[in-house]
Amino acid sequence: MSEHIDKYLEQVRASAEQGTMVKMTLSKPVQKHDELRNLYVKPVLIKEKRLFAFTYRYERRDEVKNYDAAQMLDVLQAMLPGRFLNAVLFTVSEDVTLLVSSKGKATIQTKKVQECREQNLEHDKQKVRLVNPANPWWYQLGLTTREGKITADMQHKFKQIYKYAEIVESLIKPMKFAGIVHIADMGAGKGYLTFALHELLTQRLNMEVDIKGVEIRPDLVLKINEIIKADGLKGLAFVESSIEAYHPEKLDVLIALHACNTATDDAIASGIKAGAQLIVCAPCCHKQIRQEMERSGKLDAITRYGIFMERQAVMITDTIRALILEYFGYKTQVMEFIEMEHTPKNVLLVGVKTNNKVDKDKILNSISEIKQQYGIHEHYLETVLPLNS
């Protein structure tokens, strides 16, 4: 096997030396649970010096390191087949693949390419961050070090925050608001996503905002407001209140992420009553509908299994929420908030206010059919927003 590895690395060395390497990928970790999932290599030109950028793709983060040609070969020699069993070298004229079997047998495959390839020696630019961990509030909230580095145990949380910022930006950018944008973040908790929203809208989109983080726990409200004051953040404040008791005078955007059980419905109802242009919810548990289904006795071959009952209750609850939003003139969509590996609560329900004509009878019939099929008397949202054809 070592003979094949040496031969392969010699081809890599030659392509680097001759300037024909386009890129290289390493995959299929030896250890299935290795946190390092892939390794990507490409030649770059930095300060007139040719180097090789290594992107280490971990499950929850990427790391980039630059090496010269000799260092590159040393690293690859340690990685093949120590950490990875597969490697592909892409040159301007061919693909050279190294395959190492689980029994240690190595083979090399070479394939000529028809397309005209060119090297791109530009160093990968850092992505424009919608949320900057160097801002002081992230340290004060306990997610970063004083130097602005995300702590190891908060890597997954920041990935969730970034994803949230991406989605919110895509939703808000096309919308037209007049003057200050009034936003309520219902059940704001520790404020991570509320601060991300404020940072995104004020620092990236240059919007004038009035964001209220609605949170029932007085200790959290006090702590967050102290951070807001210390950092001089304008247009952001936390309010001590339950979701159902909070009734803003003006509301353009309503956010409710992981508000438990029917608190999500109270938040949706507040948004609809206030005529919010955008409603964004990440529903949490769905006890109300599950309890109705269990009481009805209408268990079928699927829902008689507890875990499937739970999943069915989730889908029914959020489907009826989406239909009720449509009933009140919102165009709805359901999307993934964050990968399942980070949280099982990964559904995002979005409603955008429109002036489209609504067939309310058709929507009411759809809701009625769902409830009848699963023995549901009523969805909680129907009790706070009476539906009439």
Percentage of residues of the chain with pLDDT beyond 70:
90
Q: Provide Rg for the chain, Cα atoms.
A: 27
Q: Based on the fold, state whether residues 165 and 288 are members of the same structural domain.
A: yes
Q: Based on the fold, state whether residues 85 and 140 are members of the same structural domain.
A: no
Our count of domains for the chain comes to 2
User: What backbone torsions phi and psi does residue 324 show, to the nearest 5 degrees?
Assistant: -70, -40
Q: Would you state the structure tokens that stand for residue 107, as one six-digit string?
A: 């083979």
Q: What is the CATH number of the domain that holds 355?
A: 3.40.50.150
Report yes or no on 130 lying in a domain: no
Q: Based on the fold, state whether residues 228 and 369 are members of the same structural domain.
A: yes
Q: Would you state the structure tokens that stand for residue 270, as one six-digit string?
A: 């507040």
The tens digit of pLDDT for each residue in 316-375 reads 888 999 999 999 999 999 887 654 344 445 688 999 999 999 999 999 999 999 888 888
Q: Based on the fold, state whether residues 82 and 155 are members of the same structural domain.
A: no
The tens digit of pLDDT for each residue in 174-195 reads 998 989 999 999 999 999 999 9
Q: Based on the fold, state whether residues 243 and 297 are members of the same structural domain.
A: yes
Taking residues 267-288, what's their average pLDDT?
Answer: 88
**369 SS3 class:** helix
Report yes or no on 71 lying in a domain: yes
Report yes or no on 131 lying in a domain: no
CB 28 within 8 A of CB 40: no
Token pair 């247009």 is at which residue?
235
Q: What is the pTM of this model?
A: 0.65
The per-residue pLDDT of the chain, averaged, comes to 87
Range of the domain at 14: 2-112
pLDDT at position 288: 76
Position 126 pLDDT exceeds 70: no
Q: Based on the fold, state whether residues 301 and 256 are members of the same structural domain.
A: yes
In this structure, the dihedral spanned by the alpha carbons of residues 59, 61, 64 and 65, taken in order and rounded to 10 degrees, is: -70
Q: Based on the fold, state whether residues 249 and 317 are members of the same structural domain.
A: yes
**103 SS3 class:** coil
Report yes or no on 123 lying in a domain: no
CB 107 within 8 A of CB 4: yes
Percentage of residues of the chain with pLDDT beyond 90:
58
The tens digit of pLDDT for each residue in 10-28 reads 999 999 999 899 999 999 9
The tens digit of pLDDT for each residue in 87-113 reads 999 998 899 999 999 888 999 999 988
Taking residues 295-324, what's their average pLDDT?
Answer: 76
Higher pLDDT, 296 or 275: 275
Report yes or no on 24 lying in a domain: yes
Q: Based on the fold, state whether residues 251 and 332 are members of the same structural domain.
A: yes
